[in-house]
Amino acid sequence: MQLLSRLATFPGGTHPPEYKHQTASKKSTRIPLPEKLFLSLQQHTGAAAKPLVGKGDEVLRGQMIAEAESNISASLHAPASGTVNKIGKHPLPDGTTGDCIIIEVDQDNEDEKFYSPFQKIDSISSEQIYRRVREAGVVGLGGGAFPSHVKLSPPEETNIDTVILNGCECESFLTSDHRTMLERPKAVVNGLRLIMKAVGAEQGIIGVEDNKPDAVEELDDSLPESENLTVQAVEDKYPQGVENMLIYALTGRKMGASLLPADVGCVVNNVSTAAAISDAVLRGKPLIERIITVAGPAVKSAANYTVPIGTPFEHLFEHCGLIDETKLILDGGAMMGTSQSDLSVPTVKATGGIVALNQQHVNERQEHPCIRCARCVSKCPQKLVPTRLARLVKARRYDEAKDLHVQNCLECGVCSYVCPSNIPLVHWLRVGKEKVCP
Amino acid sequence: MSKEMVLQTAPHLPAEDSTPKVMFSVILALIPALLAATYFFGYRALLVVTTCVLSAIVTELVFLYLRGKNLVLTDGSAILTGLLLGLTLPVRIHLSLAALGSIIAIALGKQIFGGLGHNIFNPALVGRAFLQASYPVLMTTWIAPLEHWTDNALAATTTATPLAETVEAGYRELFLGNIGGSLGETSALALLAGGLFLILLGNIDWRIPLSFLTSTAVVGGLLHLYNPGHPDPLTHLLSGGLMLGAFFMATDMVTTPITSIGSWIFGLGCGTLVVIIRLFGGQPGGVMYAILLMNAFTPIIDRYTRPSPFGEEGN
């Protein structure tokens, strides 16, 4: 019951099984480099990056290989040294096929080409932070892959007073943010301070779901003595990690679907993004690798791995092992992940976890008619009426669906999950969104 | 690594609940009321209910066949409709009438609209309203409870239902069920137990019984103060089909609002209408008509209580 909970949260939502125990307590490790890395030119929100290298070029680890030409775009760097094999089409985890720079990895070359690190946070200007984050190709690692430098330069007329770091990781199976907070709390906190400095905010809050008390403690210990920086536990509830839900839980400010966090005085970044920003500024390291959770009942050695961007899924599974009964491979967790047919797809910057499931998770249950139980209505974090919207979209009454705000849907999947009739509600809402605002 | 992988849309977690589970939980919650009915009215109570359930199932199957649908009863809704209808009938009703009511409930109450999830009115109450309109005397001939344990069990003794004649039955009798009436209406205790079970499971919306019962007590109480000749609130609460209606009929998801404000309005409307019909109406069955009337308002309640999207409340 809502009344009994003392922790901050949002109205609605649900609590699917977490399945995090499999990987949460294991320290992240590395696996050998793959033979080839596939770097999509379009692995962020915005315009594709423009290649700076051509076939046969030698590249060093950390070297920029594609450049952001417009503001909303992100540069790419070679995650390992080697030779450009070609630039060509390759299947991607979002189900499309797109242009990739394919690098043949030179396993023995340990040279790297990083930027020169800044020494002290206090002596860096906000302009320097912005430029470094932009040239390092940092994007939101929580899944959105929105170029981070854009968030660091909010429009003039907005007044940002709070920077929020998102350490909720409410999605099932995934623990990569959790491991980042445990293993690199200083980098997370430094990232927070850099973002605050860049946007001129006075307050910084790290929101962590209360199922990760160890992360709360680690971060708390790493915070400098300052009243402006806090770690706050929020209720362990899905989808707590969605931007506007977290802003509401931590500040009480309501961000409608047509607004940006800046409109309510906030900037929100994922904890792993903060660590990447810290790496870019204080270590000169571009975004070339990240922690990825490989988990699920079909994985033999589930754990978190530090993986170069562009690593093929099949390479990960060669090392982690898949059982014969594997039925589903997801880019992401079980609530929002995209199922994959081709395991040659590479990880992208936004890939935080890969989940392998067996027959138990294949949805072959019968779909029953809607009995108007209203669970989707009471649980929808955006306070939409999914059952009605699904019906309108099925009937191709898109104008009416628009009037009922189908475009506000977060695609979190709560409606489908709680539906006792097994109606793929979020699927229909996605179709509706596509029709209403293509 | 060349295995065939399944492609499916997210989420990939099995739902925590299913429609058949919801239906069967309601059926389970009605078992105490059914046992109480059997205790107070004898085995014929079981016979009546079984007749209703069986004819509901047969009618459902016939309609599914005619509509070219899968002949599956896995959703359990037809069984539930039969059971609910049976519990609203008097024990001495002729079995053919029980069967007829059940056929009408499924056919006109549900399948005509397109089956489960599409009906406007509570199917069991449609069946019951049909019987009451067509056979008013038979439907309101009650026998005194526990009569069946004595030798003259077959001599139907007619007693009035409490509210029809405002018989001064003790609250205790009303609460436990030792009072004449329809099968499932007698024991408020058994219905309360089943209702609370469903609320704890989260399978019915607690707002509806709460606002239904509260508004009955308040409106009934005000009218009692105005004219002490009217029954007092507790008698209102414990008699007739109120408990059965409030916990099991007014909470039928298909025919009640989907918003929480809508649920409050729905319960409030039911409670007010019950008292008005009971005190000023011409025939018994206040609960039934109150719920059916409010069922008709459900679409409009839904329309005007639709929630504003998160963060856009003012717009």
Instruction: Report the relative pairing of strands A97-105 and A162-167 from DSSP bridges.
Output: unpaired
Q: Kindly tell me if the per-residue pLDDT of B99 is higher than 60.
A: yes
Residues B281-292 have pLDDT tens digits of 866 778 999 999
**Which residues in chain B have Cβ-Cβ distances shorter than 8 Å to A361?**
12-14
Q: Kindly tell me if the per-residue pLDDT of B167 is higher than 60.
A: no
B119 vs B284, more confident? B119
Asked if the Cβ–Cβ distance from B11 to A417 is below 8 Å, we say: yes
Token digits for A224? Answer: 């400098």
Q: Which residue of A has its CA nearest to B312?
A: A256
Residues A317-367 have pLDDT tens digits of 999 999 999 999 999 999 999 999 999 999 999 999 999 999 989 988 888
**Which residues in chain B have Cβ-Cβ distances shorter than 8 Å to A340?**
5, 7
Asked if the Cβ–Cβ distance from B13 to A335 is below 8 Å, we say: yes
Q: Kindly tell me if the per-residue pLDDT of B156 is higher than 90.
A: no
Determine contact, residues B25/B201, Cβ cutoff 8 Å: yes
To test the contact with chain B by mutation, choose from A94, A243, A316, A375 the residue with the greatest count of B C-beta atoms within 10 A, namely: A375
CA distance A310 to chain B (A): 18
- Stated as kind and residue range, the H or E segment containing A291 is strand A289-295
Asked if the Cβ–Cβ distance from B258 to A374 is below 8 Å, we say: yes
Rounded to the nearest integer, the mean pLDDT of chain B is 86
Q: Kindly tell me if the per-residue pLDDT of A175 is higher than 70.
A: yes
**Which residues in chain A have Cβ-Cβ distances shorter than 8 Å to B74?**
366
Residues B184-210 have pLDDT tens digits of 877 888 999 999 999 999 899 999 999
Q: Kindly tell me the burial class for residue B92, based on how many C-beta atoms sit within 10 Å of its own C-beta (0-12, 13-18, 19 or more).
A: middle
Give me the amino acid identity at A141.
L
Give the sheet arrangement for strand A64-67, strand by strand: A50-51, A64-67, A76-77
Predicted local distance difference test score (pLDDT) of residue B40: 85
Q: Which residue of A has its CA nearest to B22?
A: A420
Comparing A202-206, A264-268, B164-168, the range with the smallest average pLDDT is: B164-168
B18, B74, B258: residue with CB nearest A372: B258
Asked if the Cβ–Cβ distance from B8 to A363 is below 8 Å, we say: yes
* Residue with token string 């680890």: A61
Q: Kindly tell me if the per-residue pLDDT of A184 is higher than 80.
A: yes
A258, A330, A374: residue with CB nearest B12: A330
**Which residues in chain B have Cβ-Cβ distances shorter than 8 Å to A244?**
310-311
Asked if the Cβ–Cβ distance from A16 to B1 is below 8 Å, we say: no
CA distance B73 to chain A (A): 11
B5, B14, B259: residue with CB nearest A377: B259
A17, A327, A366: residue with CB nearest B5: A327
CA distance B247 to chain A (A): 15
CA distance B179 to chain A (A): 34
B11, B18, B77: residue with CB nearest A334: B11
Q: Kindly indicate the confidence band of residue B160, based on its pLDDT and cuts at 50, 70 and 90.
A: very low
Distance of CA A125 to the CA centre of its chain: 27
User: What percent of chain A shows pLDDT beyond 90?
Assistant: 89
Domain coordinates of chain B in residue numbers? 19-304
Mean pLDDT computed over A221-237: 90
Q: Kindly indicate the confidence band of residue B148, based on its pLDDT and cuts at 50, 70 and 90.
A: low
Cα–Cα separations (whole angstroms), residue A433 to A195, A334, A410, B194: 32, 21, 10, 42
Predicted local distance difference test score (pLDDT) of residue A1: 36
Q: Identify any residues that bridge with B269 across adjacent strands, giving them in sequence order.
A: none
Q: How many Cβ contacts (< 8 angstroms) between chains A and B?
A: 165
* Residue with token string 């309601």: B26
Residues B268-308 have pLDDT tens digits of 999 999 999 988 886 677 899 999 999 999 999 999 999 99
CA-CA distance, A134 to A280, in Å (whole number)?
Answer: 9
Residues A104-143 have pLDDT tens digits of 999 998 899 999 999 889 899 999 999 999 999 999 998 8
To test the contact with chain B by mutation, choose from A335, A371, A407, A429 the residue with the greatest count of B C-beta atoms within 10 A, namely: A371
CA distance B108 to chain A (A): 18
Residue A179 φ then ψ, to 5°: -65, -40
Class (C level, CATH) for B19-304: mainly alpha
A259, A361, A368: residue with CB nearest B75: A368
Q: Kindly tell me if the per-residue pLDDT of A3 is higher than 70.
A: no
Q: Which residue of A has its CA nearest to B253?
A: A373
Token digits for A65? Answer: 């290989």
Asked if the Cβ–Cβ distance from B258 to A387 is below 8 Å, we say: yes
Distance of CA A324 to the CA centre of its chain: 29
Token digits for B280? Answer: 């000023």
Q: Identify any residues that bridge with A208 across adjacent strands, giving them in sequence order.
A: A167, A233
Q: Kindly indicate the confidence band of residue B315, based on its pLDDT and cuts at 50, 70 and 90.
A: low
Asked if the Cβ–Cβ distance from A417 to B15 is below 8 Å, we say: yes
Residues belonging to chain B with any Cβ–Cβ distance to chain A shorter than 8 Å? 1, 3, 5-22, 74-75, 77, 115-118, 205, 253-254, 256-260, 306-313, 315
Predicted local distance difference test score (pLDDT) of residue B136: 81
To test the contact with chain A by mutation, choose from B3, B9, B12 the residue with the greatest count of A C-beta atoms within 10 A, namely: B12
Q: CB count, 10 Å around CB of B232?
A: 15
HSE-CB at A367 with a 13 A cutoff on CA atoms is: 8
Distance of CA A402 to the CA centre of its chain: 27
To test the contact with chain A by mutation, choose from B21, B204, B310, B313 the residue with the greatest count of A C-beta atoms within 10 A, namely: B310
